[in-house]
Amino acid sequence: MKNLTLSALAASMLLFACSQKPEVIDNSIKIYGKLDNSEFPVIVVSLDEDLAKDSVKSDGSFQLNFEYPESGMFMLTNGDLRFSLYLDPGDSIHVNGDVKEFAKTFIASGDKSKENTYLRKKFKAINESGLENFMEIMALKKEAYFSKKDSLISVVKNNYDSLITGKNIDPVFSKMEESYFIYQSMFMDQLYPMYHAYINKIPQDSVDFPVDENKSKLQSLPLDQKELLGVAPYKNLIDQRIGALAGELMKADTTLDYEKVSWIAIDSLIKDPTIKDQLKFETLKSTLEYRGPVNSEVMYNKFLAENTTPKFAEKLEKLKAKWEPISPGKTVPDFEFSDLKGETVRLSDLKGNLVYIDIWATWCGPCIAEHPHWDKVKEEYKDKPVAFLTVSIDETREPWEKMVKNKKMDGLQWFAPNAWQSELAQFFMVNAIPRFLLLDREGKIIDPSAERPSGNIREILDTNLEKGV
C-alpha cells in the first residue's frame, strides 16, 4: 500500500510537471482604429524604425500588429497626421478620430485608453496655450516670462491632475508625465537668455536672468534616469549637458569633429551603460539616416565594438541595409522632372558628365544658405564635365518658380512633383534637406549623400574627374 501510495504520488507529480507550460511573454501590440476623412492610403507605426503598416480601408479602418519587448511612445503616421500612443507589450487598443479635427474627435478604448486620451488633451492644450511658442514667451522680460511660463504649464498640467484623481494609471507613464512638467520648465529657463537676446537684438550677456543658478541646475541634473529618456525636455537637458562639454573639448582641440567629441562627452558624463548606448545610438542613427553608411563607417564600427545593448545594433543593421540599393556603384533610375518651361527632363539627359545634385526647397533656410557656395563651385567647374543640377521638392511649383526667377538662379533648375513623396526623394531616402548626391558619367552612384558645396566637395569632384568615372 505504501509503495502504491508513493507510486501514485510520483505519477501525480509527473502529471503536474508535464502539465506546466513555460511562461509565455507576450510582446505583441495591437492597434485597431478608424480614421475618418483620411486622404492617405497607408498608416505606419514606428519607434526609431517602422514597426508595422497597413492600408487605410475605404471606411477608414486599419489594423496594426507588431512585436515590441518594451513600453514605448509609438508614433503613428498617416500622411500629415502624426500622433503618439503610449503602450506596453501585450496591449491592444482601438482608436477613432476625424483626421481634420483629430484632437477634438479622438476616442480610445482598450488598454491604456485613459493614458492616451490624456495625451491627446495634453498636446491640444500645449498647442492652444502657446506653451511651445518660444518666440512669444522668450521675448518677455524676466518677471513676465516666469509668470507666463508658470501659467501656461499650469494650464497643461490641469489635464494631468484630473487624470490621476481616483484612476488606476500606469506608474511608469505617471512618472514620465510628472517629470515632463518639472523638466519643461527647467529646459525653457536654459533657453531663455539666448532666445531673449536674439529676439530683442541685445547682447546675451546683458540679459537679466539668474544665469549662474541656471547653470547650477543643469549641472545637478540626474543623468541616470533611464525611464525618462522618452520625456522630451529631460532628454533635451541631457543633450545640453553633452553639447556644452563637447563644445569645451572642441575649443581645446579643434581637430576633433562634433560626432567624435560628443561621444567623448557621453563617456565622460554617463555612467549607466544602457543610457550611454542609447545616446550614442541616437547620435549615430541621425548621421546614418542623413549621410548613410559611406559617411559614418568609422563611428558605426566603433559603436558595434563597444555597444552592450543588442537591440541598438540590430536597428542600425536594418537601417544600414536600407542604404544598400543606393550604395556606390548602383544605377539610378531615369527619373523624370520638369524644368522652368514645364517641359519634361530626365537624368539621362546629363549622361557623360559627373552629376552633382542639390535637393532643396524654397522654405528651407539651410538650403538657401548653401546657394552662394553652390554658385561659386559651379563657376569654378564651368569648363569641366560636371553638371550642377538643383531639384526642388516644394509642394507646388509657384514658390519655386518665383524664387528661381527673382534670384536669377541660372543653370539646371528642375522640379520634382509630389515633394517628399517624389520618386527621387523616396529612392534616395531623403528625410532632411539640403541633400546632395553625386553620380558618375553613366548615371551610377558615387555618393548617395555627398558633401555640401560649403564642404570639401571640390576634392571629391577632382578625384573622380581624374579617374574619368
b/e string for 407-438 if b means 16 or more Cβ within 10 A? Answer: eeeeebbbbbeeeeebebbeebbbeebbbbbb
In terms of phi and psi (left: phi > 0; alpha: psi -120 to 50; beta: otherwise), the region of 29 is beta
- Give residue-wise pLDDT tens across range 227-285: 899 999 999 999 999 999 999 998 888 777 777 899 999 999 999 999 999 999 998 98
Strands 50-55 and 42-46: antiparallel
18 vs 342 pLDDT, higher one: 342
- Give residue-wise pLDDT tens across range 125-174: 898 888 888 889 999 999 999 999 999 999 889 888 888 776 788 999 99
pLDDT at position 16, please? 34
Query: Mean per-residue pLDDT for 23-37?
Result: 86
In terms of phi and psi (left: phi > 0; alpha: psi -120 to 50; beta: otherwise), the region of 413 is beta
Helix (H) or strand (E) holding 76: strand 72-78
Domain boundaries, the chain: 19-111, 171-326, 336-467
Grid coordinates given for 129: 496655450
Task: State the pLDDT confidence band at 23, using cuts at 50, 70 and 90.
Answer: very low
The number of residues making up the chain comes to 469
Of 43, 27, 177, 174, residue with least CA distance to 91: 27
**DSSP character at residue 444:** B
Cβ within 8 Å of residue 437, ≥6 positions away: 355, 356, 357, 359, 428, 445, 447, 448, 449, 450
How far, CA to CA in Å, does 142 sit from each of 204, 205, 207, 293, 423? Answer: 13, 14, 9, 46, 49
**At residue 31, does pLDDT exceed 90?**
yes
Q: Dihedrals φ, ψ of 439, to 5°?
A: -115, 155
pLDDT at position 2, please? 38
Task: State the pLDDT confidence band at 20, using cuts at 50, 70 and 90.
Answer: very low
- Give residue-wise pLDDT tens across range 382-408: 999 999 999 999 999 999 999 999 999
Residue 191 burial class via C-beta count within 10 angstroms: exposed 0-12, middle 13-18, buried 19 and up: middle
Q: Which of 80-89, 102-111, 295-304, 401-410 has the lowest mean pLDDT?
A: 295-304
Q: Yes or no: say if 387 and 412 are a contact pair by the CB < 8 Å rule.
A: yes
> Class of the 336-467 domain?
alpha beta
Percent of the chain with pLDDT over 90: 74
Percent of the chain with pLDDT over 70: 94
Q: How far apart are CA 377 and CA 356, in angstroms?
A: 11
pLDDT at position 8, please? 35
Of 469, 463, 434, 253, residue with least CA distance to 358: 434
pLDDT at position 115, please? 94
pLDDT at position 352, please? 93
- Give residue-wise pLDDT tens across range 447-468: 999 999 998 899 999 999 988 6
Q: How far apart are CA 90 and CA 190, in angstroms?
A: 39
Q: How far apart are CA 233 and CA 238, in angstroms?
A: 9
Q: Yes or no: say if 327 and 445 are a contact pair by the CB < 8 Å rule.
A: yes
- Give residue-wise pLDDT tens across range 287-299: 888 888 877 788 8
Q: DSSP per residue over 350-414, as a string?
A: GTTSEEEEEEE-TT-HHHHHHHHHHHHHHHHTTTSSEEEEEEE--SSHHHHHHHHHHTT--SEEE
Q: Yes or no: say if 287 and 299 are a contact pair by the CB < 8 Å rule.
A: yes
**DSSP character at residue 226:** G
- Give residue-wise pLDDT tens across range 351-383: 999 999 999 999 999 999 999 999 999 999 999
For the domain spanning 19-111, the CATH number is 2.60.40.1120
Other C-beta atoms closer than 10 Å to the C-beta of 365 total 7
Q: How far apart are CA 318 and CA 48, in angstroms?
A: 11
